[in-house]
Amino acid sequence: MVSDKDTVYGIIRETIRQIPRGKVSTYGEIAKFSGFIGRARMVGYALRNSPTGMKLPWHRVVNSQGKISFRRSRHHAMQKTLLVKEGVTFKGEKINLAKHRWRP
DNA sequence: CTGGTGACCATTA
DNA sequence: TTAATGGCCACCA
C-alpha cells in the first residue's frame, strides 16, 4: 500500500537520483529541491531507509559544510573513496562545494 | 501523549 | 575551528 509518506520519500529519492557523476549536493538542498524546505532531516531518514538495491547515489549527498555525515564507520570511508573515484576533490575532510555543488 | 534520537541546518559564542 | 542551541519532523519505546 502507498501512503503520503512513501510519496515524500519517493520524491526525495528521485531528486537524489538526478545527481550526476562527479557532483554532490547537501541534505538541505535536496529537501529544498524536493519541495520540503527546512526538512533536511527527512532526506537523511529517507536514505537511511533505502535498501542497497535502491541503487541511489547516496554517496553524493553530504552535509552543508561539505563534510561526510557519518562518524567513524565503514560508510564514512567508503563514501569518500567513491567520491574521489568520481573525481570529487577533497580539501582535507571537506569537499570543495563551490566547485562540485549540483543544482537541478 | 511524552521523551529521546537522528546520514540536518543556521546562528551564535 | 569546534560546541552549544533551537528549529525541523518521522519514528520508536
Report the amino acid identity of residue A56: L
Q: A46 CA to B6 C1', in Å?
A: 12
Is the pLDDT score of A17 beyond 90? yes
pLDDT digit string, tens, across residues A48-87:
998 888 889 999 999 999 999 998 778 999 999 999 999 9
Number of residues assigned to chain A: 104
CATH architecture of A4-100: Orthogonal Bundle (1.10)
Q: What is the DSSP letter of A58?
A: G
Contact yes or no for A12/A30 (Cβ under 8 A): yes
Cβ of A5 less than 7 A from strand B: no
Q: A86 CA to B2 C1', in Å?
A: 46
Cβ of A38 less than 7 A from strand C: yes
> Domain boundaries in chain A?
4-100
pLDDT digit string, tens, across residues A18-55:
999 999 999 999 999 999 999 999 999 999 998 888 88
- Tell me if residue A9 falls in helix, strand or coil: helix
